[in-house]
Amino acid sequence: MIILKNQDAIRSILKDKKILALVPTMGNLHDGHISLIKHAKKHADSIIVSIFVNPIQFNSSDDLKNYPRSIEKDINILKKHGVDILFNPSEKDIYPAKPYLAYELPPLASQLCGSKRPGHFKGVITIIEKLFDLIKPDHVFFGKKDYQQLMLIKQFIFDRKYEITFHSIETVREKDSLALSSRNSLLSKESRLIVPTLYDTLKNAIIELKKFSDIKEVELSAQKKLTDLGWIVDYVEIRRQKDLLKPIDSDKKLVILGAAYYENIRLIDNIEFCTDDS
């Protein structure tokens, strides 16, 4: 595996590559990232993984400081799974000047996670634009755990007319259904026993919705259940799968999304479902 640290090196080595897949990450790799890599191998001749903890998508300096980093372990994982190139740049190399994004984010960017983390998605799309323009991938791979991010990047690709095939990959979970996340490594043993209740609460909310059909009541009930368990809830909302807008009566393909803190660790999750059990 080739490890590259700067943009000039990337431009030089990629100029002769044919079909290229990009898996963007912030490191501290886990089985969710490995799933993305395995899917990428089915579609490309060369796989490039980026590891860059993007400072401009963090809303808290403490969150940025505490974000888990494990570059040596990550390198071993990438080698084991046959990744061709690791791009691991410094902040100075990615942002030699103040970051600027000309793209106007859609209204969705200020909802859900965007309403609780102002500027977060602007930071996400800024780094994605830089990676896309630098690497020029044919395929990109993202996990469904970050459902809102996934939607915004798909829209960005469409709006900017990138010739990139976008792949959304199912969330990988622990045996107790906790969605894999780099932040899971920050959880205490005690917290780790409680945090699967986020997924359980979302799953039970779907059952309640199919019984009672009152979306707002189900959302509020789920929020209360999480609060009673000790979570600090950002939101629990039910939206349409296709665009994350609020559903109308005729919408059948929905997704329930939740974001909450447990002992200062912010976790997110979602479950896609159909109201008619199709």
Query: How many Cα atoms within 13 Å fall on the side-chain side of residue 272?
Result: 15
48 contacts 84 by C-beta, under 8 angstroms: yes
Q: Which residues are catalytic, by number?
A: 33
Residues 6+ apart with CB under 8 A from 233: 223, 226, 227, 258, 259, 260
The C-alpha angle 91, 170, 18, rounded to 5 degrees, equals 60
Rg (CA), the chain: 19
256 contacts 238 by C-beta, under 8 angstroms: yes
Amino acid at 52: F
